[in-house]
Amino acid sequence: MTLFEYLSTSEKVRSALHRDVVAICTEASHCLGLEITRPATAIIAELVFRKISAYGLDLEAFAKHAKRSVINQDDVKLLARRNSSLRDRLNGLCKNTPSVSKDKRRKTTVPVVKPESTRKEVDDENQNKKQKVNMDDEFNLPGPSKVSDNMITDDPDADDDDIILMD
């Protein structure tokens, strides 16, 4: 085990990859009743090493082209664009894991308010965006007069309702 520690990072990656490749290759060839030799697995491991390194450059370029710094699933799917069966396989894998991103979006739902004050809420939001200085006052809502100063509303009777604002 101490010998492994003396290797450089790329050599460690190569040897770990070689071990996994040997496992997959022996299993696949045993399905057909064949044995795979050491030079053959070595060459396959080297092939994978170089291919994935090349893919890394491509993925980085794709993400940069989309003006992102995080590599997406879409970038990886772009790699497989020329191979239809590989593309279909990746799309099939993607369908199993879209729920993660959808759950993250549910944290910012708008609370439901009474229908009379919905228009007020929309106007209020617009005012918030334009006049950020007045935001503290609108949250405290001291009285109806101050509310009517900042907003254009046709419904004076709705002044008593508390306006629930989103962040």
Partner 1 sequence: MARYNNENDSDKIDPSTVASELKSNIKQDIIKELLHGSFQDNKTKLGNEALTLVVEIAKCLVTETCLRASSEALRDGSDKVDFEHVEKCLPQLMLDFP
- By C-beta, is 17 or 151 nearer to partner 1? 17
Instruction: Annotate each residue in 145-164 with x if it binds partner 1 (CB under 8 A) or - if it does not, as one string.
Output: --------------------
Verify binding: residue 66, partner 1, rule CB under 8 A.
no
- By C-beta, is 21 or 147 nearer to partner 1? 21
Using the structure block, give the residue that is written with the tokens 């045993």: 30
Verify binding: residue 28, partner 1, rule CB under 8 A.
yes
End-to-end alpha-carbon separation of the chain, Å?
A: 55
Residues whose CB is less than 8 angstroms from the CB of residue 164 and which lie 6 or more positions away in sequence, other chains included: 111, 113, 121
Say how far apart CA 91 and CA 88 lie, in whole Å: 5
Count of C-beta atoms within a 10 Å radius of residue 151? 16
Size of the site for partner 1 (CB under 8 A): 60
- By C-beta, is 69 or 140 nearer to partner 1? 69
Q: Which of residues 104-133 bind partner 1 (CB under 8 A)?
A: none
